[in-house]
Amino acid sequence: MIGESWVTTTVDKLEEWGRNNSFWPLPFGTACCAIEFMSVVSSHYDMARFGYEVVRFSPRQSDVMIVAGTITDKMAPTLKRIYDQMPDPKWVVSMGACACSGGFYRAYHVMQGIDEIVPVDVYVPGCPPTPEGLMYGILQLKEKIKRDSKRRLKEKRAHGDDSGSAAA
């Protein structure tokens, strides 16, 4: 017999599959890393092979923010605002040393890592990371989302069983 939980978990799986294979990245590119990000979307590396080519500059239409470049204190409120404007579920990839930790700019105007204001899912080191490095990071994010959704599914299933038994 097909229960309610079977339907919802299948829908969840489908949703996860779709989500994983079509990130819509929002490139928050400011500096050197943005140039390497451009390399990732141009023909030599071509992120479209993973289904991630729909680069959206509007936060409302994207689900992965790729912060590429130094974030200064002046930029920080903008970054926060754009992150807040993104609809859930959303992820953040921090690309390069500056975005991850401030890099070698231990300076009066540079944010020491964007995790001061937004949660980061994947940190990609490098200054700037090679395009492969960024792609590796994004693929790691994909794995992470898979893992998370599996865990969620498991919890849901357990929860569904509980509620079923309680009803019986």
Partner 1 sequence: MPTATIPAPPLLDSLPEGSVEVVEGLDQPTWIVRRDALAQVARQLRDDPETQFDLLLDLCGVDYPDRDERFEAVYHLYSLPRAARLRLKVPVLEDDPVLPSLIDVWTAADWFEREAWDMFGLRFEGHPNLRRILTHEAFQGHPLRKDYDPARRWILTEDKIYKPNPQPTGSESVDDMFERMTINIGPSHPAMHGTFRVVATLDGEVIVASEVEIGYLHRCFEKMAETHTWQQVIPYTDRLNYCSSFINNVAYCRTVEKLMGIEAPPRAVWAQMILSEFSRIMDHCVCNGSTLVDTGALTNFWYMFQPREEIYGLLEACCGARLTVSACRIGGLLEDLPPDFEARCRHLLETVPEFIDDVDKVVTKNRIWLDRSVGVAAISAEEAVDHGWTGPCLRASGVDYDVRRAYPYDLYGEVDFEVPVFQGGDVFDRYRMRMEEIHQSLSIIRQLLDRGMPDGPYIVDDPHVALPPKEDAYNQMEAMIYHFKLIMDGIQVPPGELYHMVEGANGELGFYVISDGSGKPYRIKVRPPCFPIMASFSHLMQGGTISDAIATLGGLNIIAGELER
Partner 2 sequence: MPHSDTPEPYRYTLAERLYLPLLGGMWVTLRHFVGNLLGRRTSYTIEYPEERRAYSHRFRGHHILTSRPDGSLRCVACFLCATACPAECIHIEAGEHPDVNVEKYPVVYDIDMLRCVFCGYCVDACPEEAIIMSNNYDMAFFNRASSVVTKEELQKPFTYDQARLGYRPRYPEEEEQRARARRELQAGRVDLVGEARRRQEAAAAGPESSKSAAASS
HEC profile of 33-94: HHHHHHHHHCCCCCHHHHCCCCCCCCHHHCCEEEEECCCECCCHHHHHHHHHHCCCCCEEEE
- Binding piece for partner 1, criterion CB under 8 A, among 70-78, 134-142, 143-151, 159-167: 70-78
Beta bridge partners of 29: 68
Give which of partner 1, partner 2, none residue 78 binds (C-beta under 5 to 8 Å, depending on kind): partner 1
Stretch touching partner 1 by CB under 8 A, among 2-10, 102-110, 135-143, 157-165: 102-110
Smallest distance from partner 1 to CB 80, Å: 8
Closer residue to partner 1 (CB): 46 or 148: 46
Report if residue 99 touches partner 1, rule: CB under 8 A.
no
One residue of 28, 122, 142, 145 binding partner 2 per CB under 8 A: 122
Select from 133, 43, 38 the least CA-distant residue to 94. 133
Neighbours of 139 (CB within 10 A): 13
CA nearest 95: which of 73, 119, 65, 117?
Answer: 65
Among 101, 110, 111, 118, binds partner 2 (CB under 8 A): 101
Q: Could you say which of partner 2, partner 1, none residue 31 binds, taking C-beta under 5 to 8 angstroms by partner kind?
A: partner 1
33 part of the interface to partner 2, by CB under 8 A: no
Binding partner at 140 among partner 1, partner 2, none, C-beta below 5 to 8 Å by kind: partner 2
Among 36, 105, 37, residue whose Cα is nearest residue 71? 105
